[in-house]
Amino acid sequence: MFVSCSCQDIGVNYGRVANNLPQPDQVVNLIKSLQFKRVKIFDTDRTVLRAFANSGIRLTVAVTNQEFSSIARSSNAASDWVRNRIAPIYPATNVEFIAVGNEVLSDPGLPWPDLVPSMWNLRNALNSLGFNQIKITTPIATDILKESFPPSAGEFRSDNGRDSVVNSLLGFLSSTNSVFMANVYTFFAWQGNPRDISLEYALFQSNDVKVWDGGKGYTNLFDAMVDAIYSAMERKGYGNLPLAIGESGWPSGGAPGATVENAKAFNSRLIRRTRSGVGTPRKPGGLAAWVFALFNENQKGGPELERHFGLLYPNGSPVYPLQRPRHPIVREDAVNNSSSLLHSAA
């Protein structure tokens, strides 16, 4: 059953592309001190998984982009993966989701047709061991959208075979009572179009409606990006499929606009609104989200900003304090009238 969001269901991504991080048992204590109830990791490292045993934290683990193709082609490989990676630590370690790959459809070098078959093989392997409560999903980047503005025009790309993969993916997620997991970064949207997207709109700092769309008003870019995904799913006939935000965050250095103050503003507000259960103009109610990321990771590749997404320095001290914003996110009556969209499902 997928558990609906409660007051503290905000999560955090615990990446480990670094050579100076605390030991996993120390990390669990840091996560508890920050009151995160969900954690997402990017592999199935046994030491990390055991550190979360009996912690009360719900964990998302991952099949890497290098692993899923072999699992797609062999049910025995899927069974071996579950027996070797999940069975030794579950249920003491509360695995909530298995994320198969990461942003697979953004990389044309990956075998896209293998994605959903690998998810089915893993689903069957989990069921055979009685691990029915563990759900399977795959994080998708927002570049999967062909159209995203206005939000009601949201539509998935169909080029290069993406359409058949998306159709199969939505069918799998719906039939297995899972969630569509999307990585949503307003920073990169703003960075790519600062002329048309204001910084305050990207940072949740506007109290005025910046975009009207079919009677729905948008005061921030995050809601608009999320609702474009909802619209795309509705166009495919999956408007009732729950959505979860696998990654969202703002860097504190390494690029214009990537400052400590901006990162604090964005992440503080993201955490607050997730805990409030506000939802979006198109889908009021709970929306699970995992902040990216727990630590600054000094060995990440790419531009400098990739090494500055952490809430914490490697020594466990905060990069910035997470503060409550001074202005309300939405009208009080809107909060009172909202209801969770992350339903429990058998």
Positions annotated as catalytic residues are 103, 247
Kind and range of the H or E run holding 172 = helix 162-175
Distance separating alpha carbons of residues 228 and 193, to the nearest angstrom: 17
DSSP string, 73-120: T-HHHHHHHIIIIITTTTTTS-EEEEEESSSGGG-TTS-GGGHHHHHH
Query: Which residue in this structure is represented by tokens 């069957």?
Result: 124
Secondary structure (H, E, C), 203-248: CCCCCCCCEEECCEEECCHHHHHHHHHHHHHHHCCCCCCCEEEEEE
DSSP code of residue 285 = S
Residue 77 φ/ψ, nearest 5 degrees = -65, -40
Find, among 152, 279, 145, 265, the residue nearest to 199 by Cα: 265
Q: How long, in residues, is the chain?
A: 346
Whether residue 243 contacts residue 229, with contact meaning beta carbons closer than 8 Å, is answered with yes
Strands 216-218 and 211-213: antiparallel
Buried b (16+ CB within 10 A) or exposed e, 27-53: bbebbeebebbbbbbbebeeebbebbe
Residue 91's CB is within 10 A of a number of other CB atoms, namely: 12
CA within 13 Å, CB half, 25: 3
b/e sequence 137-153, b meaning 16+ C-beta within 10 Å: bbbbbbebbebbebbbb
Rounded Cα distance between 252 and 297, Å, is 12
Residue type, 147: E
